[in-house]
Amino acid sequence: MAGISDLQFRMLNRRFGCELAFSEMISARALSYQNSNTMKMLSQHPADRPLGIQLLGNDPTVMMKALDVLRDYSFDVLDLNAACPVSKVTKRGEGAALMKEPLKIFEVLKALVRHSGKPVTVKIRAGWDESSVNARDTALYAQDAGVSAVFIHGRTQSQGYSGTVDYGEIRRVKEALSIPVVASGDAFSGELIKKLFDETGCDGVAIARGALGNPWIFRQAAQYLKDGTLPPRPPVDELADTMITHLNFSVEADGDETGTTKFRKLFAWYVRGLHETRSIRAEAFGATSRKEMAGLINQLRATHYRPGFAEYKR
């Protein structure tokens, strides 16, 4: 997830069972210029594996330049983004705009397969809009180009991130392909993740928004898929410990002030579903140091860990 799945987020989620993680989408053009903010997205750690790097772009020549820069980095999978719905991206013909040009997807993927030396995957959507649902045909082009797997978000570009997930189109992709298909869309709980598997026959499920402030989703999903039971919500003590760990990762990576500022939105996600957090969230949005933020987290630990207190209502 752009703006979210940085090294710290990935490392935190791996502790809870995330098996394969992807970088945020990285513009191939910006990478080819070695733009400093873009290069930061390539921050690495040996434990952050297996790792997929996701590229955004539509021009094989530019993609090749990006691959040259990536030669100095260790990763396991190269993914093409043909799914981002944001207009800033699609008006350049990138992201989900590629759903309107399956031949272009084929051409770009073929170049990546030939030159990257890595397994190549692609992330697609159900289609551009309701009247042009074409994931099955697009996925077949991708398979012909030599990709190793297809990831599909079962919504169209025009749906953005709301509306219903088209389980039927994901199933049609799965039935048409001989390579693995990974489903995405509303993977918010063990039950919904099982539903994605059951209704589509997919080989894997990608977890996105379900992990915001909720790394426990990986364990929850694994347990639910195994025996149909759901683990209890983590106690507030464990929530607070996890928040502190994530805050520490953030500050180690970006320094005291920037790391703390970046953690603010994570704080809000972590406390979602806890009662009476309005004022502490407001305070967290003003925190500028690790010490201050950690103090608020410990305050949360003290005030919300009461016997009989209804802890969560996600």
Ligand X SMILES: Cc1cc2nc3c(=O)[nH]c(=O)nc-3n(C[C@H](O)[C@H](O)[C@H](O)COP(=O)(O)O)c2cc1C
Interacting residues with ligand X (CB under 6 A): 1-4, 24-25, 54, 81, 83, 123, 153, 161, 184-187, 208-210
**Residue 269 CB partners (closer than 8 Å, separation 6+):** 212, 213, 214
User: Minimum distance from CB of 123 to ligand X (Å)?
Assistant: 4
- For residue 84, indicate whether it is catalytic: yes
Say if CB 56 and CB 26 are below 8 A apart: yes
**Residue 240 CB partners (closer than 8 Å, separation 6+):** 297, 298, 300, 301
Q: Which is nearer to ligand X, 54 or 250 (CB)?
A: 54
User: Minimum distance from CB of 301 to ligand X (Å)?
Assistant: 28
Partners of 22 in beta bridges:
52
- The size of the chain, in residues, is 314
User: Minimum distance from CB of 119 to ligand X (Å)?
Assistant: 16
Q: Which is nearer to ligand X, 11 or 55 (CB)?
A: 55
What is d(CA 138, CA 115) in angstroms, rounded to the nearest whole number?
21
Q: Which is nearer to ligand X, 6 or 24 (CB)?
A: 24
Catalytic residue among 31, 51, 82, 84: 84
Q: Tokens at residue 5, please?
A: 């799945």
User: Minimum distance from CB of 151 to ligand X (Å)?
Assistant: 7
Say if CB 271 and CB 244 are below 8 A apart: no
Q: Which is nearer to ligand X, 55 or 300 (CB)?
A: 55
Catalytic residues: 84
